[in-house]
Structure 1
Amino acid sequence: MPIAPARRDNAVDPVTLLPTRVQLLERITERASSSAVAPAALVLIGLLRRDDGRPLPADGLHRVAGLLSASTRSDDWLARSGPTEFAVLLDGAAADAETASNRLVAAVAAAGVAGLTACAGIAGLSPDTSAGEVHRRATLCLTAARSVGGGRVIRYSGSRR
């Protein structure tokens, strides 16, 4: 009997060796169920380039992933969310995640990659909000932050958290 190939969408990101968006959404779903008693927030870190706008080379992405990993706490959970996005699942309320987000955005700016900055979007988890909706809210905030420019952190405030 032939062995079914491994699902590609669950593989680690080949450049950064971080979990993928699929695993991120699964982790949000798991964590959201206990977020009423132990708050948590999703932070999306988006990279911005001031130069020609070409994709960041693999070595730059790898360097940023390493710096983000070094800038997170041991109980934080880091993943690759998109071509130019990283996600961090943090324990604590969304309002408290702003401090961590500013630290992560500063770490990207200090990465030593010419012309590279970052922004962040934050959304709180709740038991009654789907993982997809939490991700959508954080993406909405990240998009708004990117429109303002590097170094900006915006938290979703339309929810109860």
Structure 2
Amino acid sequence: MTIAHDPVVLDLAALDGCATLLPGPTGVLAELDARLSTAGRRPAALLELGLLRRDDTWPTPAPALDATTRLVAASLRGDDWIGRSGPAEFAVLLAGDPADADAVAVRLAAGVAALGRPGLGAGVGIAVLEEGLTAREVLRRATLCLTTARAAGAGSVIRYRGVR
């Protein structure tokens, strides 16, 4: 007797609170550790997407986080990974060279602006995974670049390019 299973179709648009389902900072560091072990054989980068808002209310509303989660999740390939590195920050691990990471970062920042949420934008910091780096150092580099991108304004993408 054969039992057929119906495939589960996940409709991200219907999920409220989907941002809360993502792994947090501890999960981000664990996934970075795992990916760093293959950094010499398989190029990859960490994108840290940070939301920017023109209003100064805190925290970022859940619907904005959920919409961003759906946007990022729909933009990733099968071997990419998403987590939350902060209250309004998303960590995205991408396989591929730095040029791929730059292109994805620009696309994600533009996508956040196009979500139709007044005053919502994003900046992105990028750190390439390199042999010999720790997960915390990669995250520090991406966060440094995100801070610079946020200061430059919505739509900005900064990639780490040297020792600081």
Shorter chain as denominator, the TM-score bin is: 0.7 to 0.9
Q: Give the match for residue 128 of structure 2.
A: 124
Alignment of 1:47 with 2:47, yes or no, is no
Q: Give the match for residue 83 of structure 2.
A: 79
Moved over 4 A (4+): none
Number of residue pairs aligned between Structure 1 and Structure 2: 147
Question: Shift of the alpha carbon at 1:74?
Answer: 2.0
Moved more, 44-53 or 141-150: 44-53
Aligned equivalents of 2:56, 2:26: Cα separation in 1: 30
Alignment of 1:69 with 2:66, yes or no, is no
Q: In 1, are the aligned partners of 2:47 and 2:101 still within 8 Å (CA)?
A: yes
**Amino acid corresponding to residue 19 of structure 1 in structure 2:** P
Aligned equivalents of 1:48, 1:125: Cα separation in 2: 25
Report the aligned-residue RMSD. Answer: 1.6
Q: Give the match for residue 30 of structure 1.
A: 34
Aligned equivalents of 1:151, 1:14: Cα separation in 2: 24
Aligned equivalents of 2:57, 2:106: Cα separation in 1: 23
Q: In 2, are the aligned partners of 1:33 and 1:126 still within 8 Å (CA)?
A: no
Aligned equivalents of 2:76, 2:111: Cα separation in 1: 10
Aligned equivalents of 1:36, 1:55: Cα separation in 2: 39
**Amino acid corresponding to residue 90 of structure 1 in structure 2:** L
Normalised to the residue count of structure 2, the TM-score between the two structures is 0.84
Moved more, 133-142 or 92-101: 92-101
Alignment of 1:56 with 2:60, yes or no, is yes
Q: In 1, are the aligned partners of 2:49 and 2:122 still within 8 Å (CA)?
A: yes
Q: In 1, are the aligned partners of 2:29 and 2:136 still within 8 Å (CA)?
A: yes
Question: Shift of the alpha carbon at 1:15?
Answer: 4.4
Q: Secondary structure at the match of 1:62?
A: helix
For the pair shown, the structure with the greater C-alpha radius of gyration is 2
Moved more, 53-62 or 86-95: 53-62
Aligned equivalents of 2:76, 2:92: Cα separation in 1: 8
Q: Give the match for residue 144 of structure 1.
A: 148
Aligned equivalents of 1:124, 1:20: Cα separation in 2: 20
Q: 1:92 is matched with which residue: 89, 92, 96?
A: 96
Aligned equivalents of 2:57, 2:137: Cα separation in 1: 29
Q: In 2, are the aligned partners of 1:41 and 1:91 still within 8 Å (CA)?
A: yes
Q: What are the ranges of 5 or more consecutive residues in structure 1 without an aligned counterpart?
A: 1-12
Aligned equivalents of 1:80, 1:95: Cα separation in 2: 23
Aligned equivalents of 2:98, 2:138: Cα separation in 1: 11
Report the CA distance shift for 1:15/1:77 in structure 2 as closer, same or farther (over 3 A). closer
